[in-house]
Amino acid sequence: MAMLQWLKDFMLFVFIFMALLIKLIFIEKSNKKISNLPPGPPTIPFIGNLHQLGTMPHISLQSLTNKYGPLIFLQLGQIPTVVVSSARLAKEVLKTHDLALASRPQLFSAKYLFYNCTDIVFAPYDAYWRHVRKICILELLSAKRVNSYSVVREEEVARLIQRVEGSYPETTNLSKILGLYANNVVCRIAFGRDFTEGGESKKYGFQKMLDEYQELLGGFSVGDFFPSLEFIHSLTGMKARLQDTSRKFDQLIDQIVNEHKACNKIKEHKDLVDILLEVQTNDSGELPLTIDNIKAIILDVCCWN
């Protein structure tokens, strides 16, 4: 068995090495055609400047900026990248030319976790994004709507104080308690239910799924820097992990949405699922929300709290 596993690992290494070698040849040819770029450090074949980011990229980028200026060019794998490090140039990027530079890169993991990037964070700047943003401003995040959830926040603050009081005289893990508070507020506002502690958490494993979501979004992905090598994620198991986590959340939110649809009672305080379903029912425009769009938006609220 050990010999068979070693052979599999060796064949995988050879396969990846050949793929990288082929890509290296193409990159070297394409780099010769690039001109009129900002200054930057010399690159290493294939990986470009990835090795210079280190474990603390913000410090590494500051060091490179001190050497090459406030506008530098880095080749991060196959992704050409311009780094801006001055207030004047940042204003040019974020304000003067914001329409041209508004879209975020669509990360490999986000395509699986946010329904092909149809959420607010990763959706490209286009008519759909403007439509969803309008819904968020007018329906989800208006001052009146935010104030309507003050009861939830007050109740959760009271529970927070009880947890801190109950932990005395033991050492209190404030990070964990504050994280629990934030998740409780978000779950009650988004779903109208508390998934983060007690029986509901045990039954659905919501907190574990949320931790997995955030880990997958924040981890290093070969496909983000080498799009032509995305197939590697199928070999390493990352793609299967993304699909499994996405499926679990999809089933949970499906259940929640169906429960909201089946509920005929008039609610005094509507949660975000209620509001989005109402918008979907009443929306007769050119870009009606689909159930997947609703799920993506709800996941935005849960994962970025």
Mean pLDDT score, 244-251: 90
Q: Which of 250, 273, 248 is nearest to 260 (CA)?
A: 273
Give the confidence band of 196 by pLDDT, cuts at 50, 70, 90. Answer: low
CA angle (118, 121, 122) in 5-degree steps: 55
Q: What is the pLDDT of residue 101?
A: 85
Structure confidence at residue 6 (pLDDT): 44
How confident is residue 211, by pLDDT bands cut at 50, 70 and 90? confident
Cβ atoms within 10 Å, residue 190: 23
At 284 the pLDDT is: 67
Domain boundaries, the chain: 38-102, 127-303
The two three-digit tokens of residue 234, written as one number:
């199928």
Euclidean distance between CA atoms 26 and 35, whole angstroms = 17
**What is the rounded average pLDDT of the residues 122-131?**
91
The mean pLDDT value of the chain amounts to 82
CATH number of 127-303: 1.10.630.10
Q: In the block, which residue shows the tokens 């990846």?
A: 16
User: Is the peptide bond preceding residue 169 cis, with omega within 30 degrees of 0?
Assistant: yes
Residues 226-241, mean pLDDT to the nearest whole number = 88
Q: Which residue has the higher pLDDT, 65 or 21?
A: 65
C-beta separation of 209 from 249 below 8 A: yes
When pLDDT is cut at 50, 70 and 90, the band that residue 26 belongs to is low
Lowest-confidence region among 117-126, 202-211, 268-277: 202-211
Distance between CA atoms of residues 133 and 146, nearest Å: 16
So what's the pLDDT on residue 181?
86
Crossing angle between the packed helical segments 174-191 and 272-282, to the nearest 10 degrees: 30
Least confident of 83-92, 200-209, 215-224, 262-271: 200-209
To the nearest 10°, the Cα dihedral for 295, 300, 303, 305? Answer: -130
Where residue 7 falls among pLDDT bands split at 50, 70, 90? very low
- For the record, the structure tokens of 202 come out as 């045990």
Instruction: Quote the percentage of the chain above a pLDDT of 90.
Output: 27
Whether the model pTM is above 0.85? no
Give the residue-averaged pLDDT of 99-126.
Answer: 89
Inform me whether the pLDDT recorded for 28 exceeds 60: no
SS (H, E, C) the chain: CHHHHHHHHHHHHHHHHHHHHHHHHHHHHHHCCCCCCCCCCCCECCCECHHHCCCCHHHHHHHHHHHHCCEEEEEECCEEEEEECCHHHHHHHHHHCCCCCCCCCCCHHHHHHCCCCCCCCCCCCCHHHHHHHHHHHHHHCCHHHHHHCHHHHHHHHHHHHHHHHHHCCCCCCHHHHHHHHHHHHHHHHHHCCCCCCHHHHHHHCHHHHHHHHHHHHHCCCHHHHCHHHCCHHHHHCHHHHHHHHHHHHHHHHHHHHHHHHHCCCCCCCCCHHHHHHHHHHHCCCCCCCCHHHHHHHHHHHHHCC
Identify the pLDDT of residue 165. 84
**Per-residue pLDDT averaged across 30-34, rounded?**
52
Is residue 134 over pLDDT 50?
yes
| 145-173 confidence digits (pLDDT tens) | 889 889 989 999 998 888 888 877 777 78
> If you average pLDDT over residues 89-109, what whole number do you get?
88
Residue 247's pLDDT is what? Answer: 92
Q: Per-residue confidence at 99, pLDDT binned at 50, 70, 90?
A: confident
pLDDT value for 293: 92
Q: Identify which of 111, 116, 301, 120 has the alpha carbon closest to the alpha carbon of residue 217.
A: 111
Report residue 70's pLDDT band, with 50, 70 and 90 as the boundaries.
Answer: very high
Q: Of 55-69, 82-96, 272-286, where does mean pLDDT reach its minimum?
A: 272-286
- Proportion of the chain above pLDDT 70, given as a percent: 83
For 5-14, 262-271, 286-295, which range has the lowest pLDDT when averaged over its residues? Answer: 5-14
